[in-house]
Structure 1
Amino acid sequence: MAHSNIKNNNRSKKKRTYILFSLLIFSLIAGIGGYLYFNQSPPQVVVGLPDLDDNLTRLSNEDILKAMQDQVDKDKMRILLKHDIEIDAQGKASVDVRNNGQNAFNIQVEYYLVSNNKILYKSGLIPPNNRIDSIPFENLPDEGSHDVRILYNIYNEQQLVNTTTIDGTITIS
């Protein structure tokens, strides 16, 4: 009988410990939840727009269009190029490459034969308001019509800014 009494005491102690531990965990979770719930900042309601600035000047449609066109003109490169190139008997090509005076950048032109990727011509820098009319091509293929890849390298005062690739054709007679 004494032995069963000790077992019941141990069971009741374990039961009380389990209940106390469960209550402690529940209280801790409830405390954290309550803290987070009550310490929320209240939502701020924003109604309407801010007042107009006192330093406004009304723009006409013409002013807006002029400003937009000025921005487009500033960002546009104007380069004239000839896609269909004919080679004369001396191996010179009439290319007519023009760097318009409105451009703020220097350009460099490179011509490559598409079939074997050999370079036909590589120019030096062409500043704005300058042009190249005819150039001697190297590594010319046989007679006929051939595809070329034309690279336009655009430079600012110090470095390469952009490269544009254009497809063209050369005709060798």
Structure 2
Amino acid sequence: MMEGDRFDKAVDRLLEMLYRWAPLSASFRIALKDRLYLQKVKPKSVLLELGGHAKRIWYSLDCTVIGYDYTRGSGEYVNRIYLPGDIFTDLNSFFQLKATTSKLVVVQGMELLCIGREEFSALKSFDEGFDLMQQIMLTEHDLQVWRGWIMTLRDEQKVREFNSRYPMYHLPNHICASFLQMTPSRFSAIKGNFQS
């Protein structure tokens, strides 16, 4: 398949998802497509460095991306996991031009669609631009609320709920454990019981 065909199919997947959030005019679809580009990555690629500024919003085509947070004072911990089909960035950094307290790292996959901050700002003139920006923020908020809720559960329940949302058998144990605020050995033991 030619590179252009792959790009077109990737954009179509994104537009289909966005259309579920808000109706998209033909002019918006064209404007968005003209501003998107394909970013090729490898596992361990750093998309956003701690202290940097988020200059892009990504749509994962086939990547799993881990968000590490550094605000707790005890090193890094996983506070985000983005899967294929997710749209993500560091919202505070991207929209408020603040230095990030996070780091985004690819753990699996090879392709992302991206839009830069300036290109995204140009979409604000469309009604859909505001709706989509709001939906991205609400999706991120819902993830935070869900994560806060599972932190109130017993460890076994945390793992069960985590597995209902994320493919824990395809993620490294230390990433899952960090996200769940558990030790890797405790997570592994519960995961082992969960399988049986």
TM-score, normalised with respect to structure 2: 0.23
Greater strand fraction, Structure 1 or Structure 2 = 1
Q: Which has the higher contact order (CA 8 A, sep 6+)?
A: 2
TM-score, normalised with respect to structure 1: 0.25
Greater helix fraction, Structure 1 or Structure 2 = 2
